[in-house]
Structure 1
Amino acid sequence: MERKKMMINTVIDDVKFNNLPVYIDSEGKILYPLNSWAVAELLASKIDQDVKPYVTVDFSTVDVQRFLDELNRDSECQGMIDEDVEEKLIAYVFGDKAAEL
C-alpha cells in the first residue's frame, strides 16, 4: 500500500493548524499520524477558549517531542493512579476470574 505524505490546514478544537502532517493512502483516505494529532489536541487544550478562533498554529514550528514527553508523563501518572497493581498481578497469575473474587 502506497502512502503519500502531505501537509494540510485544519481546525482542531476551534484552533486553526497549518502544516499538520497527514498521509493519503492509495485509495485517497486521509490518515493522521497519531502523535501529530495528539500534540495538536494538547496544544489546542492549552489555549484559552476566548481566543481559540483567532489563533493559528504553524505545526511545522512546534517542538513535537516536548509535547509527546508531556503526554507520556501524564499518561504514566494517570495509569498509576487508576490501576490497582496488586489486583492486576493476581489477574495475571490466576486469571481474570480470580481478580473478581
Structure 2
Amino acid sequence: MEIYPNIHNIVSENKTGQGITNAYLVTGTTGSVLIDTGWKSDEQSERIISYINKIDCTTLKYIIVTHRHPPHWGNSEFVKKQTDAAIISTVIEAPYINDYFENYKVDI
C-alpha cells in the first residue's frame, strides 16, 4: 500500500506471533529500493514480487537489509533472483547475513 507518494509498505506476517514485519519499497525515476524483505516464506516472496509488478516497478536496483534478524532479510535471495537487484547492508551486518544466504552475497 502506498503510504506516502513513492513510498510503499508491504506487510509480512511475523512467525513469532508478535505482530507484523514491514518491508518498504521506495520508487524513483532513476531506480527503486526495497528496504527489508520480511520472513522467508513462499507467501511473502510472492507478495513482494506481486506488489512490485502491480505498481509496475521495473527499476528495483537495491535490496537494503537493515540488520541481521531473519524477518528483515528472509526473502532477499528470492527477490534478487527475480529482479537482479543488489543486496546491500552495512559492513558490520553483512558477514552475519551472508552466513544464511545460499547463492548470493551482500554487496557492502
How high is the TM-score relative to the length of structure 1? 0.26
Q: Which structure has the larger Rg? A: 1
How high is the TM-score relative to the length of structure 2? 0.25
Higher share in helix:
1
